[in-house]
């Protein structure tokens, strides 16, 4: 009987741990799905006036409108559009008369980078966003050539003298204007695959444990 104690503890203990991990991933799946549903609802909601003090967490993906005119130079963020190749996002300051905020006006090709775009006045409709596109590998912007490699809201706000608030335009901001790009939600939701993986591992572990007990019993007869 003593021969079975360690294999039983090891086998069924490991099985319990793997099942717990699978259940945890199911809970994470439910939570992540709720987050993505909330973001989708915000993106599809009717726009509201730009809040006085937007919060990077509470107001992320909020649909808003802002009245004003574009002023000062534009910053160009290197990007790429599928089937079109490299180009730039055009980031410019929108002056509302009482405040200045950043607006991502959209995409232009390399050939149109130097185009002078319409300044307004106009109403900009878009999405509040604080992109997390920088890390330790992100190059510093080439200020001489006006090429940025990420939408760094804090750094761009300092460069253009605005609040650290970015409004991503949904519709053309004048004529001529850069082409607005859709807001991407870069939140992975792979928890279903993880739950299936842990479940399969639990089944394999249980089968191997039962087989081990069978072999021990057979050899002890």
- Using H for helix, E for strand and C for coil, what is the string for 8-32? HHHHHHHHHHHHHHHHHHHHHHHHH
Share above pLDDT 90 across residues of the chain, in percent, rounded to a whole number: 33
Report the chain's mean pLDDT, rounded to a whole number. Answer: 85
Q: What is the structure's pLDDT at 220?
A: 65
Q: What is the structure's pLDDT at 184?
A: 66
CA angle 59, 52, 77 (to 5 degrees): 60
Helices 191-220, 2-44: inter-axial angle, 10-degree rounding = 170
Is residue 174 situated within a structural domain? Answer: no
Name the CA radius of gyration of the chain, rounded.
Answer: 27
pLDDT at 24 over 80: yes
Q: What is the structure's pLDDT at 73?
A: 92
Is residue 175 situated within a structural domain? Answer: no
> Based on the domain organization, do 67 and 160 belong to the same domain?
yes
Q: What is the mean pLDDT of residues 97-108?
A: 93
Query: And the tokens for 39?
Result: 């973001």
* CA gap 105, 179 in Å, rounded: 7
Helix (H, G, I), strand (E, B) or coil at 211: helix
Residue, of 169 and 217, whose pLDDT is higher: 169
Residue-level length of the chain: 221
201 lies in which domain range?
2-39+190-220
Tens digit of each residue's pLDDT (9 = 90 or more) over 206-216 = 888 877 777 77
Closest CA to 119 of 51, 179, 52, 178: 178
Is residue 165 situated within a structural domain? Answer: yes
* CA gap 81, 88 in Å, rounded: 9
Q: What is the structure's pLDDT at 150?
A: 92
Is residue 185 situated within a structural domain? Answer: no
pLDDT at 37 over 70: no
Q: Is 186 exposed, middle or buried (0-12, 13-18, 19+ CB in 10 A)?
A: exposed
> Based on the domain organization, do 97 and 20 belong to the same domain?
no
Is residue 184 situated within a structural domain? Answer: no
Closest CA to 117 of 145, 154, 143, 88: 88
Share above pLDDT 70 across residues of the chain, in percent, rounded to a whole number: 91
> Based on the domain organization, do 130 and 207 belong to the same domain?
no
Cα torsion at 123, 125, 128, 134 (round to 10°)?
-90
* CA gap 91, 128 in Å, rounded: 14
* CA gap 172, 9 in Å, rounded: 65
Q: What is the mean pLDDT of residues 49-63?
A: 88
Please tell me the least confidently modeled range out of 17-21, 36-40, 104-108, 124-128. 36-40
């Amino acid at each position: 009987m003593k021969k079975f104690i360690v294999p039983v503890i090891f086998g069924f203990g490991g099985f319990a741990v793997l099942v717990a991990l699978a259940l945890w991933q199911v809970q994470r799946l439910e939570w992540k799905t709720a987050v993505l549903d909330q973001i989708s609802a915000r993106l599809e909601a009717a726009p509201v006036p730009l809040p006085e003090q937007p919060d990077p967490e509470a107001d992320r993906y909020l649909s808003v409108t802002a009245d004003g005119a574009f002023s000062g130079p534009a910053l160009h963020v290197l990007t790429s559009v599928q089937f079109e190749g490299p180009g730039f996002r055009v980031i410019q300051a929108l002056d509302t008369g009482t405040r200045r905020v950043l607006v991502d006006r959209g995409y232009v090709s390399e050939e149109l980078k130097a185009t002078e775009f319409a300044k307004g006045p106009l109403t900009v409709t878009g999405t509040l966003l604080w992109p997390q596109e920088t890390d330790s590998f992100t190059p510093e912007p080439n200020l001489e050539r006006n090429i940025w490699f990420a939408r760094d809201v804090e750094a761009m706000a300092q460069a253009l003298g605005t609040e650290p608030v970015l409004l991503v335009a949904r519709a053309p901001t004048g004529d001529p204007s850069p082409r607005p790009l859709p807001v991407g939600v870069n939140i992975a939701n792979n928890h279903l695959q993880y739950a299936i993986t842990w479940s399969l591992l639990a089944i394999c572990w249980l089968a191997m444990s039962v087989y081990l007990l069978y072999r021990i019993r057979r050899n002890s007869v």
